[in-house]
Structure formats: structure tokens, C-alpha cells
Amino acid sequence: MFIDKAYIQNLLADARQTTDAEITAILDKAEGMSGLSHKEIAALLASENPAHLARIFEIAGRIKRHIYGNRIVMFAPLYVSDHCVNRCLYCSYNCGHSFGRRKLTMDEVREEVKHLEQMGHKRIALEAGEHDAECPLDYVLECMRTIYDMTFENGEIRRINVNIAATTVENYRRLRAEGIGTYILFQETYDKDEYERVHLSGPKKDYEYHLTAFDRALEGGIDDVGAGVLFGLADPYFEVMGLMLHNEHLEERFGVGFHTISVPRLCSADGMDIKTFPNLVDDATFEKVVAIIRLAVPFTGLILSTREDHDMREKLLKIGVSQLSAGSSTEVGGYAKRAANEASTSQFRVNDERTATEIISELLTSGYVPSFCTACYRSGRTGDRFMSLAKSGQIKNVCLPNALMTLCEYAMDYGDENFRAQAMAVIDENVATIENETIRVQTTENVEKIKANGERDFYL
């Protein structure tokens, strides 16, 4: 098995002996954006030298800006079912908890998608608990077909990422045939002992079956997989090493590793006592972990959810995060409830309660370009094809123009006069930075078509 607990523990223990000179050499290497070895990652995690930490953050920010520029990809989750057969200590969906569970009908799915579209979202993450009777794969596929079949005056959902339980190669083939974007699955923790402690019963208790889900997904033809751990279950440094070993395993076997890594942090939820978890991650450690992940896998997208508050989200955007949720609800049927001002019960506490428009407007004020682009998936730039473009630096020739065109769409379709003025100023400023003259002219022309003629869905 590619996760060896003793190997990771020994790496982290030995890393405490790394000299200042060796840390400096590792950081020099990190600046080259070529990735880091296990030993080098462990050494950075072990360092508490303020000068080293300052340089880690500085390099992480520089890598983020070089690869992703000032673009931030926007998305929102869509919870379709909270039925679950697992007993996971950290989750409010724990089958031992008594509450009125539900799954959405297709009409209710349409209602939720209508509210998501009204917020301007084009990319969603479909979420469901594990329950083969109440929420079989056929139901998930029906949800996907329903969503992709919907069109609105201002467009449609263009990419559905899916976060459901580990399954079979054949089921992954079916997800691919239905048009899945990225298959997302959180290992929760790579520490097998802690994994077995917090997963009391249910199919998810099988550590190795869960751990090898991405192997089966890639065998089933899904190009993009997105990983994550729930920071706070086990030693966060152990978790970083687990993520890196898992990514390396997939690169060696399939030629491509994680498309994205999510960095959720354990927070309070109904039915769980957060005080019973001894490995909660403080803010300083969390920032350090995110920065080191950015150094270790420069070309992998980092995703941050609304588990984190406004201030932490701002900090992590500067040092590595490239995808952000906005206006999220973590409850089945939560968007319709919010629109009706009804009380809700979420899977976990949302700590950034700003509306999507408020978040997007503040991103603009902070110099970012909110992006609603789904072009790479729709143009076949996935898996190893995406990574080869990213590592060559060529991806920037399409990413910024596509981000600007989708931002223009958003401004025209969902913004008021003040927001449109703000967005157009950012668009004009960034169009001028496009180095390729042909692409710059094409982007300018498409922006004008979006503004003047109401044309939509341009992408390179």
C-alpha cells in the first residue's frame, strides 16, 4: 500500500534535524516550481524558524501569482441527499443521528439549480451521503441529467463536479458517460488508526477501499480527480505527507495526479462534540500547511470552502487557494429554504455567510478576477493534457481571457450598474496585460459582443 504510516512518521521525526542551510536550499528549489521530495516537504513542515516561515509564505504567494495570476475560480455545492449508512463521528449525516432526512425530487433539484443560476454560478459540486437504497448511483446520474438539461435566460450550469462515496470502476464509467467534471473524494484522514476510530461502521469504514477509489475512477476513464483531508482529525503534517504520497502514486500509475486538493478544516456540526477531537488545527498551522502544499504541488488547484471565515479566506487566497465557494448552502434543499427565509440544518457550520455577490465584489476590489470558466473541461483540456499545458506555462493564454469573458457575462447578467462599472474596469485593466496580440484582440471583441449584443459563452 502506498500509504505507510511508519515511513511517514519516520520522515517527520528525521525532519526535525534539518539544518537552516538545508531549509534554505529546499526553498531555493521550491522557487523553481518543480515540486519537492517527501523529505523536503517534511523538512518544511518541521521548521518553526520565523525567517523560514516568512519565506515559505512569500514563495507560495509568488507561485500562486505566477501560475494562476489573479484569477479565482468560483463554485457552489449542491446537496441532493442526506441519507447515509455510515457512522462517522465528525459528520452530522451520521446514521445514528435522528433528524428528518430527505433527498430532492427532480423538481426540487431544478428549484435549487434555479437559485444557484440566479447567483451566477456555472460550476457546482454535487454532494450526497452514502446510501445505496435511498441514493443509488442511478439517482445521482438522474440529478446530473436534470441539471445539464436546464437552460436559463442567462445560461446554464456548465460543469458538475461530483462528491459521492467510493464506488466501482463500472460506476465511474457511468459517471464519465454522464459528463462528470471532477470526481471529488476526501480521504478524511490518511492515518489508518485515526480513520478507524472516527468511522465506526458502514462501507466507509473500509480504509483501503476508500483509499483506492481514485485508482478505480481513473481506470473508469475519469480524467480529473480531486482529493482532500479533513484537517483536525489527525496530525496535520501527517495528512500533508499522505496527500503527497497519494498524489505521487497516481502520477506513477496513471501519469496524472490530483487536479485539485481541498483543504477543509474540522468545524462544529450538529450531533458532534468538537472537543473530542485532539488534533484541531490552529490558524497559524493551517496557513503554514496550505502554503507548503502550494510549494509541493505548484500546478494543482487548491479549493477552500465556506467552513473558513472571511479573514482566513483572504489570507489563504494570497498564498495558494485558487478556487472558492460563494453563497454556499450545505443543506439538502438549502437554497430554496434560504430564498424563503426558512430555518436550515446544515452538514457543517458555514463561517462565511456573505452572499455570492458580496464575495465576488470584494474579490474585484482586492484585485482578483472571479472566474466562472469551464472551458478546459469542455475543450478536452483535462487530466494529463491540462497538466502539460499548466507546466509549460501555456495555459495562461486561455485562462485569463476565459476568466474575463465569463466575468463580463456575470456582470451583464447579474450585476447592478455599480457592479458592472467595477467589473468592466477590472476587465479593461486585465485585457491590456494579455501578451498574445491575437488573443488580446479576440478577447476584446468577445467582451464587446457580450456587452453590446447579449451574446454569451465565448471561450478559448
| 345 vs 444, residue with greater confidence | 444
pTM value surpassing 0.85: yes
Residue 350, pLDDT score: 63
Residue 392, pLDDT score: 76
Q: Is residue 378 part of a domain?
A: no
The arithmetic mean of pLDDT across residues 86-100, rounded, is: 92
Q: Is residue 428 part of a domain?
A: yes
Residue 290 shares a structural domain with residue 248: yes
User: Among residues of the chain, what percentage have pLDDT more than 90?
Assistant: 83
Residue 106 shares a structural domain with residue 82: yes
Q: Is residue 375 part of a domain?
A: no
Residue 294 shares a structural domain with residue 415: no
Q: Has residue 232 got a pLDDT over 60?
A: yes
pLDDT band of residue 377 (cuts 50, 70, 90) is: confident
Q: Is residue 360 part of a domain?
A: no
For 356-411, the DSSP string reads HHHHHHHHHHTT-EEE---HHHHTT--HHHHHHHHHHTTTHHHHHHHHHHHHHHHH
pLDDT tens column, 39-55: 999 999 999 999 999 99
Residue 129, pLDDT score: 96
Q: Is residue 369 part of a domain?
A: no
Residue 195, pLDDT score: 98
The answer to which of 229-243, 293-307, 368-382, 396-410 has the lowest mean pLDDT is 368-382
Domain end marker among 45, 65, 85: 65
pLDDT tens column, 165-219: 999 999 999 999 999 999 999 999 999 999 999 999 999 999 999 999 999 999 9
pLDDT band of residue 310 (cuts 50, 70, 90) is: confident
8 Å CB contact between 64 and 315 = no
Domain end marker among 65, 81, 116: 65
| 1 vs 360, residue with greater confidence | 360
Domains in the chain: how many in total? 3
Q: Is residue 460 part of a domain?
A: no
Residue 229, pLDDT score: 98
What CA–CA distance (Å, rounded) separates 213 from 422?
44
The arithmetic mean of pLDDT across residues 230-245, rounded, is: 98
- DSSP label at residue 233: S
Residue 203 shares a structural domain with residue 297: yes
Residue 74 shares a structural domain with residue 30: no
What is the rounded average pLDDT for all residues in the chain?
94
The arithmetic mean of pLDDT across residues 309-323, rounded, is: 94
The arithmetic mean of pLDDT across residues 103-125, rounded, is: 97
pLDDT band of residue 14 (cuts 50, 70, 90) is: very high
> Burial of 53 by CB count in 10 Å (0-12 exposed, 13-18 middle, 19+ buried)?
middle
Residue 218 shares a structural domain with residue 290: yes
Residue 55 shares a structural domain with residue 99: no
The arithmetic mean of pLDDT across residues 328-338, rounded, is: 92
Residue 177 shares a structural domain with residue 112: yes
Q: Which three cell numbers stand for residue 459?
A: 471561450
Q: Has residue 70 got a pLDDT over 90?
A: yes
Q: Is residue 26 part of a domain?
A: yes
What CA–CA distance (Å, rounded) separates 378 from 410?
19
Residue 352, pLDDT score: 72
Residue 154, pLDDT score: 85
Q: Is residue 372 part of a domain?
A: no
CATH number at residue 322: 3.20.20.70
The answer to which of 34-38, 170-174, 346-350 has the lowest mean pLDDT is 346-350
Residue 201, pLDDT score: 97
CA 135 to chain centre: 23
Name the residue among 70, 35, 8, 21 with its Cα closest to residue 295: 35
Name the residue among 289, 217, 290, 288 with its Cα closest to residue 257: 217
Domain assignment of residue 82, given as a range: 69-353
What CA–CA distance (Å, rounded) separates 102 from 225?
28
What CA–CA distance (Å, rounded) separates 376 from 182?
12
8 Å CB contact between 305 and 347 = no
Residue 179 shares a structural domain with residue 260: yes
Q: Has residue 104 got a pLDDT over 60?
A: yes
> Which residues are CB-neighbours of 219 under 8 A, at least 6 positions away?
169, 172
The arithmetic mean of pLDDT across residues 269-283, rounded, is: 90
Residue 128 shares a structural domain with residue 264: yes
User: Among residues of the chain, what percentage have pLDDT more than 70?
Assistant: 98
Most confident region among 266-280, 383-397, 418-432 by mean pLDDT: 418-432
Residue 341, pLDDT score: 83
pLDDT band of residue 112 (cuts 50, 70, 90) is: very high
Residue 317 shares a structural domain with residue 218: yes
The arithmetic mean of pLDDT across residues 58-85, rounded, is: 96
Domain end marker among 65, 87, 109: 65
Residue 186 shares a structural domain with residue 57: no
Q: Has residue 429 got a pLDDT over 60?
A: yes
Residue 126, pLDDT score: 98
> Burial of 373 by CB count in 10 Å (0-12 exposed, 13-18 middle, 19+ buried)?
buried
